[in-house]
Amino acid sequence: MILSYKPFILEYKHPFGVSSNTRTSTTSVFVKIEHNGKIGYGEACLPVYLGETVEGTLAFFEIAKPVLAINTDHFSPQEIRQEIDSLSKGNNAAKAAIDIALNDLLGKLAEKPFYDLMGLGKSDAMPTSFTIGIDEEQKIEQKIKEASEFSVLKIKAGTKDDKALINIIRKYTDKQLYVDVNQGWTDKQMVLDMIFWMNEKNVILVEQPMPVAMIDEMAWVTEQSPIPTIADESVKRLKDLENLKGSFSGINIKLMKSTGLTEAIEMARYAKQNNLKVLLGCMAESSCATSAMAQLMQLADYIDLDAPNLLKNDPFNGVTYKNGNVYLNDRPGIGVEPIESLLDF
C-alpha cells in the first residue's frame, strides 16, 4: 500500500468561534492510501487548540510509511492501528487520517459502505446541531436566521452571563439547544442550578460543564441532572471511558481525538453497552472526515456534524445536508470523492 498526503487550508464562510478566539481558516492534511487500483482517503484536521502541527503531522506520516508497506487485500485495521499507535504518544489527528483512509480502502476493496462492512447498516437521516458563535445581540439574530434550516442549535457557553445569552437566543427561536460549556463552570451547585434552569429553556444536553479533573463533582451533578451531561474533553479515547465512573451520562466521540474510525466504533459500542448516550462530533473538518464519522450514525443518539456547512472550499463530496438533516450515501468505504479542481494529489 502506498501512502501520500497533502496539506490544505480550509477557509470558513464566516469567521468562526467566540469573539476572543475567532478563526478564518484551519489546515487539514489529506491522505490517500493506494492499493490494487483502489484509493482510500483520510483527513487529519489540525485546529490550533488541538496542539498538533502540520510539520509534526507530515513527519508522523513519514515514520508510518514502513508500517503500511504491505501487499494484501485482507489487512486488519485493528492490527495496523496498534502498530501505528505505538509509533508516538500523540499525533491523534495524523493517526486518525491513516485509520480513516485504511477503512475507506477496505470498503472500496469489498465494494461496501463502511456501515455495512461493520454490520451497522445504513442509518436514516439524522438532524445535526449547527453551532452559532457567541456575539452581540444583533449578530445572534442574524446567525439564527442563517441557521434557519437546522432544527437544533449548539452554543458555546462560558460567557460572562450565560443566562443572558440564552435569554437573547430565546427572543428569536425556541429550537432545541445543545450547550457546550468547554469546562467553563466550577461550582457544582451553580452547575446543577444552571442545568435545571436550562432544562426549562429547551436545552436538551450540556457538554463538559466542568473541568476534566472535577470527576466527583461531575458525578454529583450527573446523578441529579434532568438532561444528559456529555463528556468531551474528559474522553478522548477508549481507555478514558473506564475512568468516567458515572461522572457523565454520555460521550462526544470525535475522530481526531479517538485516532480514527476503528477506535471510534469501539467507543460507541462500549458506550451503548454501558448505558451512555453517544454524540458524534467533529472538529472543523471537511466532508472527508465528517462523512467517515457519519458512518456510525446507527450507533448515535445525537450528532453534531455541521462542519462542512461552515466551509467555503470543501474539497470532498460526501454526506449531504437537507433541511438540517445529514444523509448517508450508498458509495463504498466512507462514501467520499475528492473534488479534483480543489484538491489535486
How many CA atoms within 13 Å lie on the side-chain side of 198?
Answer: 29
In the complex, what is the shortest distance from the CB of residue 54 to Mg ion, in angstroms, rounded to a whole number?
A: 23
| Count of chain residues binding Mg ion (CB under 5 A) | 3
Strands 302-303 and 250-253: unpaired
Q: Mutual orientation of helices 77-85 and 92-110 as an angle, nearest 10°?
A: 160
Contact 28, 286 (CB under 8 A): yes
In the complex, what is the shortest distance from the CB of residue 252 to Mg ion, in angstroms, rounded to a whole number?
A: 6
Q: Return the number of the residue (97 or 155) whose C-beta is nearest Mg ion.
A: 155
CA distance 203 to 301: 15
Contact 52, 91 (CB under 8 A): yes
In the complex, which residue's CB is closest to Mg ion? 232
Written as nine digits, the cell of 111 is 465494494
In the complex, what is the shortest distance from the CB of residue 229 to Mg ion, in angstroms, rounded to a whole number?
A: 12
The closest alpha carbon to 155, from 183, 134, 170, 173, belongs to 134
Asked if residue 304 binds Mg ion (CB under 5 A), the reply is no
Q: Binder to Mg ion among 232, 285, 304, 306 (CB under 5 A)?
A: 232
Give me the sign of the Cα torsion angle 237, 299, 290, 308: negative
**Which one of the spans 42-50, 129-137, 200-208, 260-268 is the region binding Mg ion (CB under 5 A)?**
200-208
Q: Return the number of the residue (279 or 336) whose C-beta is nearest Mg ion.
A: 279
Site string for Mg ion, 158-197 (x = CB under 5 A): ----------------------x-----------------
**Which one of the spans 2-10, 43-51, 201-209, 236-244 is the region binding Mg ion (CB under 5 A)?**
201-209
In the complex, what is the shortest distance from the CB of residue 208 to Mg ion, in angstroms, rounded to a whole number?
A: 6
**Which one of the spans 115-123, 207-215, 217-225, 263-271 is the region binding Mg ion (CB under 5 A)?**
207-215
What are the backbone angles phi and psi of residue 238, rounded to the nearest 5°? -55, -45
Residues forming the site for Mg ion (CB under 5 A): 180, 207, 232
